[in-house]
């Protein structure tokens, strides 16, 4: 199964909702196929290419005829491949052979508006996220996740938004559900590090109060660490790392070396390509050696 947000697996349980009902908003091309069907495998890359090209103009629902025999029978399928175009809850066109790409295009054109100049849903969600519309971004990511639950990129984005909304438990549950190898991916590691920082932060004093405390005592370990956490949560990352280096210089054993631990977690949150990470990693190395 492709990780495309425009392709999903249709079953007897979800066909009404994800195909018939959803086709009121977006045409759905239903591809009934089987592993043993050579023409099916010939047609499949053509359909996958076109659904990406149309960029959300239609969705591709894949029905495994061997696994979904009841659904296949209800669709009246007599040979494979069978392709049915559903729009507004009705079958409006279709074919039952491995057509060439040009013929499939001709079938789509009267019914599907090409969306190549429109913003892809995944890109739209990220734009809304950057603009601060977390609820709007979450709604789109949730829809993409329903269409393709195996798209781990979308799943991690969902967890990140949940974390930003303060739902740390859900974000952590999503992370824990990832396959072990995916937990090592940069985005997953960065989110895990951010969640640790959020958990450690707890109820922190306001930034202004902590800054005043440091003015009175520049080596106050509590203020140094708490203010670094506040800065990190507000994306003032270089300032956060600078405070953690100061804390290591003045009180390396504070809370069992939490300054170093927090600094490493901040590196993980930002990723190795971040220029501030490279700068402060060198400072940490110098301090340790």
Residues with catalytic function: 37, 40
Distances (CA, A) of 289 to 244, 263, 264: 17, 16, 16
Q: Give the closest residue to 261 by CA, choosing from 228, 214, 220.
A: 228
| 182 secondary structure, DSSP code | G
Distances (CA, A) of 141 to 168, 209, 237, 239: 17, 38, 27, 32
Q: Give the closest residue to 264 by CA, choosing from 249, 252, 280.
A: 280
Q: Give the closest residue to 47 by CA, choosing from 78, 8, 92, 91.
A: 8
Q: What are phi and psi of 82, to 5 degrees?
A: -125, 130
Please name the residues in contact with 49: beta carbons below 8 A apart, sequence gap of 6 or more: 101
CA distance 8 to 127: 24
Total residue length of the chain: 289
CA distance 207 to 180: 37
Tell me if 18 sits within 8 A of 61, measured CB to CB. yes
Helix boundaries (H) for the chain: 15, 38-53, 69-74, 101-108, 121-130, 134-147, 152-164, 168-177, 186-201, 207-216, 221-233, 237-251, 258-270, 275-288
């Amino acid at each position: 199964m492709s990780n495309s947000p425009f392709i999903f697996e249709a079953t007897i349980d979800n066909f009404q909702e994800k195909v018939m009902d959803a086709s009121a908003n977006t045409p759905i091309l239903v591809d009934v196929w089987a592993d043993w069907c050579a023409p099916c495998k010939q047609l499949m890359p053509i359909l996958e290419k076109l659904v990406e090209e149309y960029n959300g103009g239609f969705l591709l629902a894949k029905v495994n005829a061997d696994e979904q025999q009841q659904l296949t029978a209800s669709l009246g399928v007599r040979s494979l491949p069978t392709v049915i175009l559903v729009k507004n809850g009705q079958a409006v066109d279709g074919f039952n052979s491995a057509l060439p790409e040009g013929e499939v295009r001709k079938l789509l054109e009267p019914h599907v508006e090409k969306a190549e100049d429109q913003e892809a849903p995944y890109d739209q969600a990220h734009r809304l996220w950057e603009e601060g519309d977390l609820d709007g971004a979450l709604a789109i990511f949730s829809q993409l996740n329903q269409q393709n639950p195996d798209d781990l990129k979308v799943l991690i984005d969902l967890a990140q938004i949940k974390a930003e909304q303060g739902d740390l438990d859900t974000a952590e549950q999503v992370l824990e559900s990832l396959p072990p190898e995916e937990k090592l991916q940069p985005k997953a590691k960065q989110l895990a590090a951010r969640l640790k920082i959020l958990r450690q932060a707890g109820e922190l004093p306001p930034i202004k109060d902590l800054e005043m405390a440091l003015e009175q005592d520049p080596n106050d370990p509590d203020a140094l660490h708490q203010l670094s956490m506040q800065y990190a949560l507000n994306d003032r990352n270089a300032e956060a790392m600078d405070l953690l280096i100061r804390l290591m210089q003045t009180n390396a054993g504070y809370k069992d070396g939490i300054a170093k631990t927090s600094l490493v977690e901040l590196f993980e949150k930002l990723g190795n390509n971040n220029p501030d990470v490279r700068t402060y990693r060198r400072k940490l190395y110098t301090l340790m050696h």
